Structure 1
Amino acid sequence: MTPLTFRHATSADIPAIVALVTSAYRGESSRRGWTTEADLLDGQRIDPEVLAEDLARPCSVVLLAERDGELLACAHVAEEDGAGYFGMFAVRPDLQGGGVGKAVIAEAERIAAADWGLPAMRMTVIDVRDTLIAYYQRRGYVRTGILKPFPYGDERFGIPLRDDLRFEVLEKPLRQEAVA
């Protein structure tokens, strides 16, 4: 099998990224994988304008994982408040559970630690997503107990199907590479 390759997204990739993220989290296609939010949220998962802003800001990249030129996964990696931020993580539903996600997380952590010298990686996860939180805990992330409100009323982030959604911050210390 051809190895996975990584590259940073450009504005030309926005339609493909929106399609990938939507397929992993929303609607019937997302039910083929285990990361679906279809029972929690409807509507869009990522707003193209927000994505364009993420691509344009400093210390912010959208990491793409490809094999033979085909987009398989993505994640947003940025510097926020002195730490790395990991978000917009999506793996094609038919490939979930096959190791692609682990490789994307490892590359995102490498960027934050080695390229940007950041001490930790943080993310926000809907706190009722126990299976997803357990996945991140197996990769070294810990629940901080810091809760953030879900943006009810802002359809750029989806249409909630429940009234009890909120985010919890997860965090992982990153090993700093030795400087020669």
Structure 2
Amino acid sequence: MNTPAAALTFRDATEADVDALVALVESAYRGDSSRAGWTTEADILEGRRTDPEAVLAVIEAPASRLLAVERDGRVVACCQLEHRGDHAYFGMFAVSPALQGSGLGGAVMAEAERVARETWDATEMRMTVISVRGDLIAWYERRGYRRTGRTEPFPYGDERFGVPQRDDLEFEVLAKPLV
């Protein structure tokens, strides 16, 4: 399979991207449209995954970058990078459901890791993944991320993170050295 990287443009998101980024994140994780890809959370969470205010807050945060990934002038992927001392946090990762499985996600992760190393001298990338998402955790493990044994509670009652459809959700912390 050919890598899509040559046809991609990586750039920092701007306020003008907010609506497209919200639509992208929602399409990758929530509702029926998310079922076209494999990253759907529709069976474990209902409601919104993000909103314009949350996306704009990431764009405007001083220790954060929201990378927008374009192909043919259209935003097809994104990810958040946040500088946290010696490491960077990776979040708000979304790939258009129609392009999942094409290698695009791996290309975005590689660029995010490069940016974290070069921008902040980060020695490690960390992320949180809903612990019941075994398929997604396995995907990250194939890219060098390891389970740390640490978990964080899921914010039950805070609908900004969605409406849980089960009572056993928590975040698992994954990490990868960036050396």
Give the TM-score range, shorter chain: over 0.9
Contact 2:77 2:94 in 1 (8 A): yes
In the TM superposition, what are the counterparts of 1:159-174 in structure 2 within 5 Å? 159-174=163-178
Q: State the 1:3 CA deviation.
A: 1.2
Preserved contact between residue 47 and residue 157 of structure 1 (Cα < 8 Å):
no
Partners of 2:56 and 2:117 lie apart in 1 by: 24
Question: Quick check: 2:24–2:96 contact (8 Å CA) kept in 1?
Answer: yes
Deviations 1:139-175 (A, max 9, x none): 0000001110001111111110111000010000002
- Counterpart CA distance in 2 for 1:72 and 1:24 is 10
- Aligned counterpart in structure 2 of residue 87 of structure 1, from 66, 88, 91: 91
Question: Paired residue for 2:65?
Answer: 61
| SS class of match (1:46) | coil
1-structure distance, mates of 2:142, 2:62: 30
| Mapped partners of 1:24, 1:86: distance in 2 | 16
For residues 12-39 of structure 1, give each alpha carbon's deviation from its aligned partner in whole angstroms, at most 9, with x where no partner exists.
Answer: 1111100000000000000010000000
Q: 1:80 offset after TM fit, Å?
A: 2.0
1:140 aligns with 2:167: no
Normalization by structure 2: what TM-score?
0.95
Please list every run of 5 or more consecutive structure 1 residues that lacks an aligned counterpart in the other structure. 176-180
% identity of equivalent residues: 61
TM-score by length of structure 1 reads 0.94
Q: Whole-Å Cα distance in 2 between the matches of residues 127 and 60 of structure 1?
A: 25
> Which amino acid is 2:44 matched to?
L
Question: Which amino acid in 2 is paired with 1:144?
Answer: T
Contact 2:86 2:121 (C-alpha < 8 Å) held by counterparts: no
Find the aligned partners of 2:9 and 2:59 in 1 and give their Cα distance: 19
Query: Per-residue deviation at 1:53?
Result: 1.4
Query: How many positions carry a matched residue from both structures?
Result: 175
TM superposition outliers: structure 1 runs of 4+ over 2 Å: none
Which runs of 5 or more residues in structure 2 are unaligned? none
